[in-house]
Copies of this chain bind each other. A is one copy, B any other.
Amino acid sequence: MSIKGRPNSLDIAMRAGVSQATVSRALRGSPLVNKATREKIEQIAREVGYKVDKSASNLRTQRSNTLALLLFEDPTDDQSLINPFFLSLLASITRATAAVEQDLLVSFQQLSDDWQADYENTHKADGLILLGYGDYVAYRSKLERLTAGGAHFVRWGAARADQPGLAIGCDNIGGGCDVTAHLISQGCERIAFIGEASSRYPEFNDRYRGYRKALEAAGLSVDPNLQIDAISTERSGLEATRELIQRGASFDAVFGASDLIAIGAIQALFDAGMSVPAEVAVAGFDDIPMAQYCRPTLTTLRQDTMGAGKVLVDSLLRLIAGETVESHTIPGQLIVRASCGAGKS
C-alpha cells in the first residue's frame, strides 16, 4: 500500500493505531496481545494483503523455516528418469511440509558429483531430507562433512547401527519376507533375488535378509547363484536377469529389489521366451504407479508414502528443535497382482 509496492508491518501499525511491535506480536499469535487489538490487526492485514516478510523474519529469528529435499541416486543414462517412488515421496513431503508451515527447497539434481549445490542448500535450510537408492557408501563421506557442520538431517532408508544419523524407512526386512513368503505360497521354490545386497544398498540388503528369512522359514535353501546385483533401474534389472538366465541356473520366480528392477526382469524373461507368470513368477518392491500398468501387472510391496512424508517431516522438525528422535520403521503392504500368478498354486 501507500507509495511502495507491498505494505510492511509499520503500515499496518499506523492503520491500526498501534505500534509496529504490536502488529508483529499479534500476527505471530502472541498471547500477550489483547484479543480485540489482535482481531483488528488481523482484519487490516487481510484487507491490504499484508504478509510478514520472510527474509526479515528469518534474519531476525535466525531460522529459515525451510527444509531441503535432496536426492541421491546413481546417475543413469536416461537423463531425467528419477525413480517414480521418490517422486511419490516428494508429493507427500510437499504436503507434510506445507502442513507445518515450512517451505521446501527441492534439489533433484541427480548429479552425484554436483555436491556443491547440495551443500549450498544446507545453508539455506534448517534441515535436510535425504532420499535415494544410490550407493550409500559413496554418499556417506559427503554426509559426514555436513554432520560435522552441525546440519540436521533425516534419511529415507534403512536404519543401521553403523550408519550416521536418523533414518526413517519402510520395514524392508518384513516386506522382503512377505513378498518371498507369498511367492512360496504360490508354489515357487527357486526364487531369484535381483538387487545388490550389500552395505552400499542397505535397503536392498534388508529386503534380501527378509527374503532369506522367508526361505529358511519354509525350509528352502538359499542358493547364492540366485542372487545378482542390480541398481534400481529398469535397465539394470534387465541386464541382471539376462545374466541370471545365462548362468543356466534354474528358477521359478524373480524377486526384484525394486519395481523398476522387476519391470526390467519381466522384459528380460520375455526376451528369453519365458512367460510370466506361467513359467516364472515376478514380484517387486515399492508399488510405483507403473506397477499396475505394466503387463502382467506387478505383485509388489507397497510402501506407505503418505505416512512416510509425515514421519520424515515431523522427525526432522523435532530434531531441529533439539529433541531426541529415534530411527523408525513404517510397515508396508503386500499388493498381489498378476505377475506372480495369484491362484496358480
Residues of A within 8 A of B (CB): 5, 49, 51, 53-56, 58-59, 64, 79-82, 84, 87-88, 90-92, 94-95, 98, 103-110, 117, 120, 123-124, 149-150, 234, 263, 289-290, 293-295, 305-306
Tell me whether B92 and A87 are in contact (CB under 8 A).
no
Contact B81 A94 (CB under 8 A): no
A–B complex contacts, Cβ < 8 Å, 28 sampled: A51-B120, A54-B55, A54-B123, A54-B124, A55-B56, A55-B59, A80-B88, A80-B305, A82-B87, A84-B289, A87-B90, A91-B108, A94-B106, A94-B107, A95-B108, A103-B124, A104-B105, A104-B106, A105-B105, A106-B106, A290-B290, A290-B293, A290-B294, A293-B293, A293-B294, A294-B294, A294-B295, A295-B295
Which of A56, A87, A107, A124: most chain B Cβ within 10 A?
Answer: A87
Once bound together, how far apart are the Cα atoms of A56 and B123, in whole Å?
13
Q: Which residues of B contact A124 (CB under 8 A)?
A: 54, 103
Q: Which residue of B lies closest to A289 (CB)?
A: B81
Contacts of A105 in B (CB 8 A): 103-105
Q: Which residue of B lies closest to A87 (CB)?
A: B87
Give min CB distance, A2 to chain B, whole Å.
15
* Nearest B-chain residue to A59, judged by Cβ: B55
B51 touches A59 (CB 8 A): no
**What is the minimal beta-carbon distance from A103 to any residue of chain B, in angstroms?**
6
Interface contact A293-B234, CB-CB below 8 Å = yes
Do A117 and B98 form a contact, CB below 8 Å, given A124-B54, A289-B84, A293-B293?
yes
Contact call A51/B94, Cβ cutoff below 8 A = no
Q: Which residues of B contact A92 (CB under 8 A)?
A: 80
Q: Which residues of B contact A5 (CB under 8 A)?
A: 150
User: How many angstroms from the CA of A81 to the CA of B289 in the assembled complex?
Assistant: 8
Which of B51, B91, B104 sits near A80, CB closer than 8 Å?
B91
On chain B, the residues within 8 Å of A90 by CB distance are: 87, 90, 106, 108
Give the distance in Å from the alpha carbon of A123 to the alpha carbon of B289 in the complex.
34
Contacts of A108 in B (CB 8 A): 90-91, 94-95
Q: Once bound together, how far apart are the Cα atoms of A212 and B168, in whole Å?
A: 52
Report chain B residues within 8 Å CB of A81.
Answer: 289
CB pair B64–A55 under 8 Å, yes or no, is yes
Counting chain B CB atoms within 10 Å of each CB, the highest count among A81, A263, A293 belongs to A293
A5's nearest neighbour on chain B, judged by CB, is B150
